[in-house]
Amino acid sequence: MDTKPKNLPDAADFAHVSEWVFDLDNTLYPHHVNLFSQIDRNMTAYVAELLKLDPEEARVLHKRYYHDHGTTLQGLMINYGISPDEFLERAHAIDYSALKPHPELGEAIKALPGRKFILTNGSVKHAQAAAGALGILDQFEDIFDIVAAGYLPKPASATYEKFAALAKLDTKKAAMFEDLPRNLAAPKALGMKTVLLVPSNLEGVIMERWEIPVETDAHIDYITDNLTGFLTRTIAG
């Protein structure tokens, strides 16, 4: 499927938006940075060590839990009662040097009218490290992470509802930016504008079938491979 942007926004499309909600991984930084591959390897290694599996068996289980439960962590908690704190520490023990300051993105986020949030299935510590490396951390009012969600990850509707309640978010005046199609279904149902971030070049990018948008994804309003350009266009006069 062609995952180039289906449409580009006009400023009028987002004129009502005053609440801007961003996923973190593969959204605030592009997929080709490949930062998440480090997290992926760490999670596979954790599963292999915990369950005494060989690496390929561990990877299959890790991916199955990710697909079935929203996060590998949720699957391990349900089936093995693991400590979420230890898992998150191990998963996010990565090198952030691949992330470089992105002042253009920072300026684009700063220029958005209203409040800005990060809503992630990762930890606050990870979000702070990644957004800090990009030089955009100060643009966000708050970070809602997997701990704040009670370890119930996106795409669960209850997680978005809890976030909206805690942030006193008017979902009819909100926009959600995500890299996973299924994670935009609940925001759309709550009345948010939904924007899917896709890789600018799929060559060499490994994606699960369910991570790729299809024509029947009516809950996706926009698709873009350029977050900075998209944001700039939403506020262009």
Which of the listed CATH numbers 1.10.12.10, 1.10.150.450, 3.40.140.10, 1.10.357.10 matches domain 36-91? 1.10.150.450
* pLDDT confidence tier of residue 188, bands split at 50, 70 and 90: very high
Categorise residue 135: left if φ over 0, alpha if ψ from -120 to 50, beta otherwise.
left
Q: What is the pLDDT of residue 5?
A: 42
pLDDT in tens, 120-165: 999 999 999 999 999 999 999 999 999 999 999 999 999 999 999 9
Domain borders along the chain are: 11-30+98-235, 36-91
**Is residue 88 scored above 90 in pLDDT?**
yes
- Domain 11-30+98-235, classified CATH 3.40.50.1000, yes or no: yes
Write down the pLDDT at residue 211.
Answer: 56
pLDDT per residue as tens digits for the range 4-48 = 445 778 888 899 999 999 999 999 999 889 898 899 999 999 999
pLDDT for the residue 124: 97
- pLDDT at position 20 is 98
